[in-house]
Amino acid sequence: MEKLVMRDDPSSLSAEAFRTLKINLDFFNVDNNLKTLAITSSNPGEGKSTAIANLAIAFAQSGKRVILIDCDLRRPSVHKKFKISNTHGITDMIVDTELKHDYIHSSKIDNLFILPCGTKPPNPAELLASEKMDMLLEKLKGMCDIVLLDIPPILSVADSRIICGKVDGVILLCAYGQSEKELILKSKQELDKVNAKLIGTILAKVPESQSHYSYYYDDNLNASNRKKNKRHSR
């Protein structure tokens, strides 16, 4: 089973970062209209699937009922992270137009349910763009507090853009030392073209040394704020 920090290393700095991301999303979602959320990025391998799976666990651990759907129909990976069967999944549900409850798996984490990709289709973009997909999403939304969608990179095929245009919120992920500035800007343009609601960005794969730096930097900031406050209170 592939490692997920929220499940396998919950006291790590990375896990703390996912809990903070979830809290920031709660603040963003005061009106409770963020029911479907996806994370995309410019290229494959930048950490989207890992991030959305960790975020799903963060939501579930806070008591929200979560369904995580694998909408990367060309390179599905969510089933590997949770060690579940990928025999049937969202593609089969779209084709059958029926909500098959036994295609939705328990993740062994309370409140978190997984809908894998299922049968690999010859026409992923067509399936994702279909009205049947919209109807299915509506039904899934009714079954939980939030639906998270794992999607492909935005610059390669149309699949990601199709989903980004449908969901309530999109996070654009950039990978430290990997994502190129020009491609990040291009990704933002692609999101704008489909009127995606970009609600934020996250920086993944920050080396430990760098995250320690920011951790201590925050402490120093607090220390200097404390000094300032002391001066003001005199």
Ligand X SMILES: Nc1ncnc2c1ncn2[C@@H]1O[C@H](COP(=O)(O)OP(=O)(O)O)[C@@H](O)[C@H]1O
The residues of the shown chain that bind ligand X, judged by CB under 6 A, are 41, 44-50, 77, 204-205
The rounded distance, in Å, linking the Cα atoms of 59 and 18 is: 9
54 binds Mg ion (CB under 5 A): no
Q: How far is Cα 224 from Cα 202, in angstroms, rounded to an integer? A: 27
The alpha carbons of the chain give a radius of gyration, in whole angstroms, of 19
Q: Pick from 153, 207, 154: which is nearest to 14 by CA?
A: 207
Residues found in the chain: 234
Question: What is the separation of C-alpha 30 from the centre of its chain, rounded to a whole number of angstroms?
Answer: 19
Among Mg ion, ligand X, none, the one that 10 touches (CB under a kind-dependent 5 to 8 A) is none
**In the complex, minimum distance from the CB of residue 154 to ligand X, in angstroms, rounded to a whole number:** 11
Tokens 């909408």, located at residue:
71
Closest CB to ligand X among residues 14, 36: 14
The interface partner of residue 205, options being Mg ion, ligand X, none and the CB cut-off 5 to 8 Å by kind, is: ligand X
Taking Cα atoms as reference points, which of 195, 189, 188, 161 lies closest to residue 172? 188
Q: Is 179 in the site for Mg ion (CB under 5 A)?
A: no
Contact of residue 79 among Mg ion, ligand X, none (CB under 5-8 Å per partner type): none
* Binding string, residues 1-40; x marks residues near Mg ion by CB under 5 A: ----------------------------------------
- Residue closer to Mg ion, measured from CB, 47 or 214: 47
Residue 49 binds Mg ion, judged by CB under 5 A: yes
Is the CB of residue 175 less than 8 Å from the CB of residue 47? yes
Cβ-based neighbours of 79, under 8 Å, separated by 6 or more: 70, 85, 86, 89, 114, 116, 117
Our finding on whether 86 is near Mg ion (CB under 5 A) is: no
Instruction: Identify what 46 binds: Mg ion, ligand X, none; CB under 5 to 8 Å per kind.
Output: ligand X
- Among the listed ranges 23-31, 42-50, 60-68, 215-223, the one in contact with Mg ion (CB under 5 A) is 42-50
Question: Which CB, 70 or 133, lies closer to ligand X?
Answer: 70
Name the phi and psi angles at 136, rounded to 5: -65, -45
Q: How far apart are CA 24 and CA 18, in angstroms?
A: 10
Provide, rounded to whole angstroms, the least separation between the CB of residue 25 and Mg ion. 20
Q: Provide the binding-site residues for Mg ion, judged by CB under 5 A.
A: 48-49
